Structure 1
Amino acid sequence: MRLELNLIEVFCCVYEERSFSKAAARLRVSQPTISGHIKNLESHVGTKLLDRQPRLITPTRAGELLYKHGRIILDEKEAAGRDLSRLLDRVEGDLTIAASTIPGEYLLPSAIASFHNAYPLVRVEVRISDSARVCEEVSEGAAEIGFAGVRPDAIGLELHPFASDELALVVRNDDRWREVSSIPLEALIETPFVAREPGSGTRIALEKKVGRSMDAFNIVGSFGSTNGVKEALLAGLGVSVLSILAVRQEVESGRLKILEISDIGPIHRQFFAVLNRKLAASPILEAFIDFTFPRKSGDDAGIAV
């Protein structure tokens, strides 16, 4: 049985994303193209590889077996490309980065623009999700490097401090809050609160600082992005704790306002670059690391987890 490499690549992508639409976005093709490739592959091997259900895709036993071998094949293909690039002293190709919201939307864009000017043959894809998912993607090899606001629990990852951030209580600058400068924690807990989703670094940092789960708060809505939370605040849904970086423009324009939580003090957090210690860095990744945040001598090992 002869299997085409491009069909194996499509199948492995769908397997990893558990979604035809996400696989299509990752491979930059249409969803019908992905569906057609999977149908052709299943016809070729003579068995079903994926069980399709509404909002859920699960691999069959044959699918699990094909992924096991297909992932090895694709890893070898990527390794061959890396070795050839080293031999020819070239830095070109694709770099996939997983990043949580604040690094992905506020810290990395300018760094990537500068990197592109230095390495114009490199195409960078930034996939934004919450910190927990970022660490999962690096662990799975779906992203070469990640940027997250929490220390991951996953084994085999290497962390390098990348940047710091401060969180603050943010409210709509309306009649209710215009004359208020601070609020105690107990009063905040009773106030309608707009939360980030579980797994968000912002949510984890807040829970750690106050020593309580978000379940103790008066949650009126939960959003999977910082922009979603901001729009909810502007619409008057409630208050929230967000990165100061993310609300700078709205605060300067007077649409939002920052309050002090009087009895807990500032909320600081560290962002980390996350690497998979089990995988060799490609020449592109090495160039990106050296260009974006050169590591100091003696810090090469990072923080192992």
Structure 2
Amino acid sequence: MKRVSIGGVPEHFNLAWYLTLKEGEYKKEGINLSWQDYPDGTGAMCKALRSGDIDIAVILTEGIIKDIIAGNPSKIVQTFVQTPLIWGVHVAEQSNYKTIEALKGKKAAISRYGSGSHLMAYVNAENHQWDLKTDLDFEIINDLNGAVKGLTQGKADYFLWEKFMTKPLVDQKIFRRIDDCPSPWPCFVIAAREDFIETNKDELKTILHIINRTTADFKAIPNIDYTIANRYNQKIEDVQEWLNLTEWSQGLIDEVAVMEVQKQLFSLDIIPEIVDHNKLTTVV
């Protein structure tokens, strides 16, 4: 049986992977697919792809594009979630910050450099015409638990993270969300190491076929809203809102979206150049 390792964030976006693994769908096709949670997100997965710790990652679009340009020997093989990610801009409940403008020049908590929370802090700053050199400062907090500690203790002032996953912390009055910052592109893609793609194309096609079959009908799974609410400690009305907003994809990210990501990252001085679509993606 062929062993394949895949990584992703332990969030509701990836429940379809858990369901297909639970049903043993990959093993039926001779593939022993092992899932690795990466609660500290895209930066950690980029590192894992580079080191060969994982073969495939379900990863933020902007993060993997940045890292491929920086030398990560991987390619995007498919869009996973077509809709934008809605990042909430959060502060500690007891903080004095009430508006985005009050956060100008303050310290952003980020999981690590190159992560989504890092890159979207730049997007948020650009949206509000801040000076990217003087109005941004960062504190590495690793993951969501680290953000709770960092904001509560005053080590950082604000934190960008997916709004529905942080909603329980808002409901518990640990965080206060003062704004939303949607990513202006499809939020998650599936990327794989180039050496894995070259030597395991059939297995990769099979894995994509299985997950695509599930995501195509994901919203029609009986009681899926209650399953998500129970598994991820969410209120049912929040899950239903999230499901209404979210669309999965079964196709390769298009050139227009890839260019939009690159233009934004280049304008923010996060990437040194804009490269061709085929240097970042491949058809399996």
Q: TM-score band, normalised by the shorter chain?
A: 0.5 to 0.7
What's the counterpart of residue 124 of structure 1?
34
Match of 1:239 among 144, 154, 158: 158
Q: For residues 241 and 299 of structure 1, what CA distance do their matches in structure 2 show?
A: 24
Q: Which runs of 5+ in 1 are unaligned?
A: 1-91
- TM-score with structure 1 length normalisation? 0.53
What's the counterpart of residue 97 of structure 1?
6
The root-mean-square deviation of aligned C-alpha atoms, in Å, is 3.5
Residue 227 (structure 1) aligned with residue 153 (structure 2): no
What's the counterpart of residue 114 of structure 2?
199
1:105 is paired with a residue whose SS is coil
Is the CA contact 1:131–1:199 (under 8 Å) kept in the aligned structure 2? Answer: yes
Residue 160 (structure 1) aligned with residue 78 (structure 2): yes
Residue 273 of structure 1 and its aligned partner are, at CA, apart by 0.8
1:190 is paired with a residue whose SS is coil
Residue 274 (structure 1) aligned with residue 191 (structure 2): yes
Q: For residues 271 and 115 of structure 1, what CA distance do their matches in structure 2 show?
A: 18
The total of aligned residue pairs comes to: 201
Q: For residues 43 and 109 of structure 2, what CA distance do their matches in structure 1 show?
A: 20
Is the CA contact 1:148–1:201 (under 8 Å) kept in the aligned structure 2? Answer: no
Larger radius of gyration: 1
Match of 2:176 among 246, 250, 257: 257
Residue 136 of structure 1 and its aligned partner are, at CA, apart by 4.9
Is the CA contact 1:162–1:271 (under 8 Å) kept in the aligned structure 2? Answer: yes
Is the CA contact 1:148–1:271 (under 8 Å) kept in the aligned structure 2? Answer: yes
Match of 2:58 among 140, 147, 153: 147
Match of 1:115 among 8, 15, 20: 20
Residue 214 of structure 1 and its aligned partner are, at CA, apart by 7.4
- Letter of the 2:5 counterpart: T
- Letter of the 2:85 counterpart: D
Structure ranking higher on relative contact order (CA contacts 8 Å, 6+ apart): 2
Q: For residues 17 and 80 of structure 2, what CA distance do their matches in structure 1 show?
A: 14
Q: What's the % identity of the aligned pairs?
A: 11
Q: For residues 192 and 298 of structure 1, what CA distance do their matches in structure 2 show?
A: 36
Residue 272 of structure 1 and its aligned partner are, at CA, apart by 1.4
Alignment CA distance shift 1:134-1:297 (3 Å): closer
Residue 224 of structure 1 and its aligned partner are, at CA, apart by 1.9
Q: For residues 95 and 124 of structure 2, what CA distance do their matches in structure 1 show?
A: 29
1:293 is paired with a residue whose SS is helix
Q: For residues 190 and 217 of structure 1, what CA distance do their matches in structure 2 show?
A: 5
Alignment CA distance shift 1:223-1:280 (3 Å): same
Residue 176 (structure 1) aligned with residue 96 (structure 2): yes
Q: For residues 168 and 141 of structure 1, what CA distance do their matches in structure 2 show?
A: 32
Q: For residues 299 and 188 of structure 1, what CA distance do their matches in structure 2 show?
A: 34
- TM-score with structure 2 length normalisation? 0.57
Match of 1:292 among 204, 208, 211: 211
Is the CA contact 2:77–2:190 (under 8 Å) kept in the aligned structure 1? Answer: yes
Q: For residues 248 and 268 of structure 1, what CA distance do their matches in structure 2 show?
A: 21
Residue 96 of structure 1 and its aligned partner are, at CA, apart by 0.8
